Structure 1
Amino acid sequence: MQVIVATDGSKASLSAAQQFKSFADPDKITEVVIVAVVSPLAVVPFENELSHRTPPGSVDEAVNLSFEAEARGATASLMAEFEGWGPAVSRRLRSGSPASEIIKVAEELPADLIVVAAGARGLTATILIGSTAQKLQHSAPCPVLVGRRALHQK
């Protein structure tokens, strides 16, 4: 069984990965593929709440800012979450529309399951499912597990 764990660099995506791990049988999973998608037209950096980087607002932040580097750091944090769990773990960094690129990876593998967080930003964190998760539920070639952080988690 091949499983995609999608991350947007948010704590919610880490929580979704942890929820999946809490009930999945690692003996039945052959590979966990961590996927991050950077928008080529992004006006804000890839959000990375998962790994250490230069503190926001510092002088070096603007110099060191790299969308790919932030995505690589976020995927490394999720890869570490699965380290020693059993299945092989790999990563895929893509550029484009998050839902479309995750679906492409799912088709290429082929994936048996996609794990994604419910909306992690703005009102979607508490009211609505995120647009990427919603698009995946409707268009993915395999089942989609949508994890939601408990409201009391920080």
Structure 2
Amino acid sequence: MATDGSKQSLAAARQLRAFADPQKVDEVVIVAVVSPRAAVPFANELGPRRKAGAAPVELSFRAEATAALDVVAADFDGWGPTIVKKIRSGSPAAEIVRAAEQLEADLVVVASGGKGLSDTILLGSTAQRIQHSAPCPVLVCRPVKRSR
């Protein structure tokens, strides 16, 4: 399960819980990838909100990624399987594929429409790259459109 700190990645985690049988899942590894060359910090929409107009604080990509991992992991509390949180550094698609290979993953779950560098450039292409390179099936969870 990959998170980029977006609400869509939390929704993807919930979709995984909705269809997967916790009796048949041994472990869920939640991965956040910090890109050291990113022009913007880890796009964490899941952690605590900062007050508008507050004095600037030093942004920590790792701290933001940790906060996002904690929120997604908390959504799996009481579900059954062991939950493992991992932070990796590098290109999101490459690191998610590398993690899937190293962990011998049975499934990779990613959200489409997250908040990386750009909705269309980063996550759209990130999900696409993962689909083409992953050593296992990839579930790409699209945001659910709400009727008005």
Does residue 39 of structure 1 match 2:45? Answer: no
Q: How does 1:34-73 map to 2 (within 5 A)?
A: 34-59=30-55, 62-73=56-67
Task: Give the alignment partner of residue 99 of structure 2, picking from 105, 115, 124.
Answer: 105
Q: How does the TM-score come out when normalised to structure 1?
A: 0.87
Instruction: Indicate how the Cα distance of structure 1 residues 73 and 141 shifts in structure 2: closer, same or farther if over 3 A, else same.
Output: same
CA root-mean-square deviation: 1.8
Task: Give the alignment partner of residue 7 of structure 1, picking from 3, 14, 19.
Answer: 3
Classify the secondary structure of the residue corresponding to 2:86.
strand
What one-letter code is carried by the residue in structure 1 that aligns with 2:82?
Answer: A
Ranges in structure 1 where 5+ consecutive residues have no aligned partner: none
What one-letter code is carried by the residue in structure 1 that aligns with 2:44?
Answer: N
Classify the secondary structure of the residue corresponding to 1:40.
coil
Q: What is the aligned partner in structure 2 of residue 146 from structure 1?
A: 140
| Whole-angstrom distance in 1 between the partners of 2:41 and 2:53 | 13
Equivalent residues of 2:26, 2:82 under 8 A apart: yes
Q: What is the aligned partner in structure 2 of residue 84 from structure 1?
A: 78
Equivalent residues of 2:110, 2:138 under 8 A apart: yes
| Whole-angstrom distance in 2 between the partners of 1:44 and 1:58 | 18
**Would you say how many aligned residue pairs link Structure 1 and Structure 2?**
144
Alpha-carbon deviation of 1:85? 0.2
Consecutive aligned runs of 4 or more in structure 1 exceeding 3 Å deviation: 121-124
Equivalent residues of 2:89, 2:95 under 8 A apart: yes
Q: What is the aligned partner in structure 2 of residue 131 from structure 1?
A: 125
Q: How does the TM-score come out when normalised to structure 2?
A: 0.90
- Percent sequence identity over matched residues? 59
Ranges in structure 2 where 5+ consecutive residues have no aligned partner: none
Classify the secondary structure of the residue corresponding to 1:63.
coil
| Whole-angstrom distance in 2 between the partners of 1:143 and 1:132 | 15
What one-letter code is carried by the residue in structure 2 that aligns with 1:9?
Answer: G
Instruction: Indicate how the Cα distance of structure 1 residues 70 and 123 shifts in structure 2: closer, same or farther if over 3 A, else same.
Output: closer
| Whole-angstrom distance in 1 between the partners of 2:52 and 2:105 | 36
